[in-house]
A = this chain, B = another copy of it.
Amino acid sequence: MKKNVLIIGAGGVAQVVAHKCAQNNDILGDLHIASRTVAKCEAIIASVHEKGAMKVPGPFQAHGLDATDTGAVAALIGATRAQIVINVGSPFVNMSVLDACITTGAAYMDTAIHEDPAKICEAPPWYANYEWKKRDACKAAGVTAILGVGFDPGVVNAYARLAEDRFIDKITSIDIVDINAGSHGRWFSTNFDPEINFREFTGTVYSWQKGAWQENTMFEVGREWDLPVVGKQKSYMTGHDEVHSLANRYPDADVRFWMGFGDHYINVFTVLKNLGLLSEQPVKTAEGQEVIPLKVVKAVLPDPASLAPDYTGKTCIGTLVKGEKDGKPAEVFVYNIADHKDAFNEVGSQGISYTAGVPPVAAAILIAQGTWDAGRMVNVEDLDPAPFLDLLNGMGLPTRVKDAAGDRDMTF
């Protein structure tokens, strides 16, 4: 039984995590949020109080923190007596925060894979480059570390495991589909940190097919889906974290990730990429200033958090699992529909942040209650998905299932 939560990061996802922790602070205990810019933490706490989100009276404190400094993170964990750390800061800080958790014994969670700022799309499986190297250290220290427990990766991994547990005996393919059918009304914006968003798409697209890593380029492989609620949607095979862990658990299945993109996004991306403006490598201006182009692109684009008030429409994110059940071909699509406006009304964030920020709080509750306090490093598909998806049903991210038997709510 662990309690007291330290949230690291103060972006759009952190805002959702903060609100959801507040709504469950009877279970989670004291709440803390830390970021390089303490004012952003204070603004999030203010929005929590504005919404009256705290379930019971209790502390919610803001802290300034350089999360790349393991010693500083460990000291803050000690000072706050936090036993659960939800890392939703930049993916550049995963390893320093994880190391601090191993040192202090706090449970660790994140929602995206660690990245080295100077590298793009490293060799697969990505988790083996950083996080999984700490598996033994976590086990030795009895530290619970749940990797990638946002929506995708995270809930979609649980969907795959649910299919394994209940719907498909022999899995031959896992296709994760992420469609944002919402509209933010801006000429162009990414839905989360542009730097991280574009970094996902500038390198090799890795998929696991025919028992091996396959390489493609972005926008090379397209597929149209006809999905519940959002209807027909164009998508492209994309590199994504969960492919790199699911391929480990399901080596005999093809594992692919598909993200929806409109022609406008692709055009803007293509122009920026072909001009070299998405490069993470510095260029020198005529005046001699060294600049990383991608960071300038990020600086001119809208802050994704600013999109929330005007965002309308829905997202559909799910996992299509095919294979055999009782010797016969079978398939199931496990999915969630989220609404941007509903998310804003509840927690002041748009739907993309909402789907990423709610799941780690559900996982934190399961750690606090002991259900998911594994005492080792895991990916989400390594854990029993039922209590997690059951909690999410009541926290704003209900699970639905579509298969030969129909399209229905999934209860546990």
Interface residues in A260-302 by Cβ distance below 8 A to B read: 267-268, 271-272, 274-277, 279, 283-287, 289, 291-293, 295-301
Which 8 residue pairs of A and B lie closest in terms of their CB atoms, listed nearest first?
A276-B300, A271-B271, A283-B299, A285-B295, A285-B299, A296-B296, A187-B274, A268-B271
Residues on B with C-beta less than 8 A from A283 are 296, 299-300
| A side interface size, CB within 8 A | 28
Closest-CB distance, A43 to chain B (whole angstroms) = 16
Residue A130, interface by CB 8 Å: no
Closest-CB distance, A65 to chain B (whole angstroms) = 16
CB <8 Å contact, B272 and A271: yes
A residues neighboring B (CB under 8 Å)? 187-188, 195, 267-268, 271-272, 274-277, 279, 283-287, 289, 291-293, 295-301
Q: Known: A291-B291, A293-B296. Contact between A188 and B285, CB under 8 A?
A: no
Closest-CB distance, A341 to chain B (whole angstroms) = 26
Interchain CB contact (< 8 A) of A284 among B286, B291, B293, B299: B299
Q: Whole-angstrom distance between the alpha carbons of A188 and B284 in the complex? A: 19
Q: Known: A188-B274, A274-B188, A277-B277. Contact between A291 and B286, CB under 8 A?
A: no
Q: Whole-angstrom distance between the alpha carbons of A287 and B195 in the complex? A: 12
CB <8 Å contact, B272 and A298: no
Closest-CB distance, A10 to chain B (whole angstroms) = 12
CB <8 Å contact, A287 and B295: yes
Closest-CB distance, A97 to chain B (whole angstroms) = 18
CB <8 Å contact, A286 and B299: yes
Interchain CB contact (< 8 A) of A297 among B268, B275, B292, B299: B275
Closest-CB distance, A130 to chain B (whole angstroms) = 22
Residues on B with C-beta less than 8 A from A291 are 289, 291, 296, 299
Residues on B with C-beta less than 8 A from A285 are 292, 295-296, 298-299
Residues on B with C-beta less than 8 A from A276 are 300-301
Closest-CB distance, A263 to chain B (whole angstroms) = 12
Q: Whole-angstrom distance between the alpha carbons of A298 and B283 in the complex? A: 10
Q: Whole-angstrom distance between the alpha carbons of A276 and B296 in the complex? A: 10
Known: A188-B275, A293-B299. 16 other contacts (CB 8 A): A187-B274, A188-B274, A267-B267, A267-B271, A271-B272, A275-B297, A275-B300, A283-B296, A283-B299, A283-B300, A285-B292, A285-B298, A286-B298, A291-B296, A293-B296, A296-B296
Q: Whole-angstrom distance between the alpha carbons of A84 and B283 in the complex? A: 37
Q: Whole-angstrom distance between the alpha carbons of A103 and B293 in the complex? A: 43
Residues on B with C-beta less than 8 A from A295 are 285-287, 289
Residues on B with C-beta less than 8 A from A277 are 277, 296-297, 300
Closest-CB distance, A282 to chain B (whole angstroms) = 10
Q: Whole-angstrom distance between the alpha carbons of A292 and B287 in the complex? A: 11
Closest-CB distance, A290 to chain B (whole angstroms) = 9
Q: Whole-angstrom distance between the alpha carbons of A297 and B283 in the complex? A: 10
- Residue of A275, A279, A286 contacting most chain B CB atoms (<10 Å): A275
